[in-house]
Structure 1
Amino acid sequence: MTTPLVSCADLAVSLSSSAPPTLLDVRWRLGGLPGRDDYDRGHLPGAVFLDLDTDLAAPPGPGGRHPLPSPAELERVLRAAGVRDGHPVVAYDADNGSIAARLWWLLRWAGHDRVRVLDGGFAAWQAEGRPVTTGVPVPDEGDVTVRPGQLPVVDADGAAGLARTGLLLDARAPERYRGDVEPIDPEAGHVPGAVNAPFSAHTGPDGRWRTPEELAAHFAGLGVLGDQPVGAYCGSGVTATSVLLALEVAGVTDRAALYAGSWSNWSADPDRPVATGDAPG
């Protein structure tokens, strides 16, 4: 695959082929109604729903609000959803790909490379007048084998090191990065040395992803240059994967590290320093 994104038109063609991709709906929102309610009201034909909180993360705890699932549990979830070794997967969320990127990253981390994110998500599919159903498929059991560690992950110490010697990108909204507000985690601010890189910058007004050239220029403006080590974090390790996806779409790097615990892990440790304001600190 040349890009980790797939258009609605291309997905529609592949879904009508003799070997359609495994289609996974991962719609989720921070607060409000659960994503399963959205799925039940209508989803892409053949899509299986996976819940971010229970299927794509371990229970919250010292590791953060959305720790990585255990390899065994992830394998169980993926097989139940029909994921097969060597067979393509397409993930979609409501619109901007920031949640679908979590599944994209998990599959890559687990050694399954044939995975894409639907550009524009469910909103784009619906806007184009493409078919939607309320029928719930019963997938055949998959045979995927989870081989963890195929993408780099860092802990809090590793994130601090990246902020000092490489580039650590903070995917949260500017007001949370600055420490103006913190609606969820114990303390407001950011990891000292981290640069704000809001995930909202990856998509245009129509909800579709910006071109590789636009994203490459965006990251160059943030200081992503050359072969320097790069990592990303967010509130709980979910939208940070959107930054990693965007880096790959831009052709910048496919080896950036995820700080999986993210701010929910960092801010829970009173011994960790906290920076505020617009500057990295």
Structure 2
Amino acid sequence: MASILTTAEELHDALSAGRYADGGPVRVLDVRWRLDRPDGRPDYRSGHVPGAQYVALDRDLADHDAPVTEGRHPLPPLNHLQATARGWGIDAGDTVVVYDDAKNMASARAWWLLRYAGFTDVRVLDGALRAWTDAGYKTEKGDAATPAPGTIGLSYGALPTLALDEVASFAEDGLLLDARAGERYRGEVEPIDPRAGHVPGAVSAPTTENVGGDGRFRSPDDLRSRFRMLGAEDGMSVGVYCGSGVTAAHQAVALTLAGFEPRVFAGSWSQWSNHPELPVATGPEPR
């Protein structure tokens, strides 16, 4: 778990020392984004972990030149992500810590994307910004100083994924989890995507149930029990999607903590629902 989560105390000590004892020099990323308030920079400027670089999820962690059939947050081109990560000052051997102000529902996208691109030491600040402030640590206002350009080299493919044409068969033969709220899964509401419902065969598993009221992830044992009740078995690769590939990454963190191998469908419901030839299920049951 040490390579996935970090506590506020551990981060504070690492920033004071300039590096993690079990890692490298620290780079902190503030990934504040919400569906109803995608620009998190004003909140970032009002107070962030000292030295944290602001990450604009829509711009830095997604490709918005892609057609709508690719979903709302398709993966950015590799060269774009690499240039952006170098702009954050990241070098090989660094330890990157990500957080947001919403139980890490957005920052997990940076965790997953950097790991998918081959950067191994990425950690999530457990409890998000609240854990930092609750511990009594100071925040910094305005924009952090621009770091010297990093030299990190990235390459996609380090984690397993699901492509659009693989999802239906995976849902038929394996376990595909839908990380959205239950009412969206059931098709009762759909605030943004063109069709309501879920991928036939997918099981409802709202990612909000992976954390407690304080925003910290439940214990690995608790998470393992939860996913077993949803149908996961030892050694199983578990597929996961959400609305647009953001909170699916949060589910991927929880699955990894629980000892399962997550396969993220990055296009998620926003991609599936933009293909009218693909079937949609509604109601509380997978099919």
How far is the alpha carbon of 1:226 from its aligned partner?
2.5
Q: Tell me the residue number matched to 2:85.
A: 78
Superposed, which structure 2 residues align to 1:40-79 within 5 Å?
40-59=45-64, 61=67, 62-79=69-86
**Within the alignment, does 1:242 sit opposite 2:247 as a pair?**
no
Question: Is the partner of 1:16 in helix, strand or coil?
Answer: helix
Question: Is the partner of 1:24 in helix, strand or coil?
Answer: strand
Superposed, which structure 2 residues align to 1:1-281 within 5 Å?
2-19=2-19, 20-32=25-37, 34-59=39-64, 61=67, 62-135=69-142, 136-253=144-261, 256-281=262-287
Code of the residue aligned with 2:48 in structure 1: it is: H
Question: Is the partner of 2:171 in helix, strand or coil?
Answer: helix
Question: Is the partner of 1:86 in helix, strand or coil?
Answer: coil
Distance in 1 (CA, whole Å) between partners of 2:87 and 2:4 is: 23
Distance in 1 (CA, whole Å) between partners of 2:234 and 2:214 is: 31
Question: Structure 2 regions of 5+ residues with no counterpart?
Answer: 20-24
Describe the superposition over 1:95-133 as per-residue Cα deviations: whole angstroms up to 9, x where unpaired: 311211111111111111011000011122122221101
**Deviation beyond 3 Å, 4+ runs, structure 1:** none
Distance in 2 (CA, whole Å) between partners of 1:164 and 1:39 is: 42
How far is the alpha carbon of 1:48 from its aligned partner?
0.3
Question: Structure 1 regions of 5+ residues with no counterpart?
Answer: none
Distance in 1 (CA, whole Å) between partners of 2:162 and 2:18 is: 40
Distance in 2 (CA, whole Å) between partners of 1:250 and 1:269 is: 33
Question: Is the partner of 2:177 in helix, strand or coil?
Answer: strand
Moved more, 177-186 or 2-11: 2-11
How far is the alpha carbon of 1:86 from its aligned partner?
1.6
The TM-score normalised by the length of structure 2 is 0.94
Describe the superposition over 1:183-213 as per-residue Cα deviations: whole angstroms up to 9, x where unpaired: 0000100000000111101111122111111
Contact 2:111–2:124 (Cα < 8 Å) also in 1:
yes
Equivalent residues, number = 279
Question: Is the partner of 2:193 in helix, strand or coil?
Answer: coil
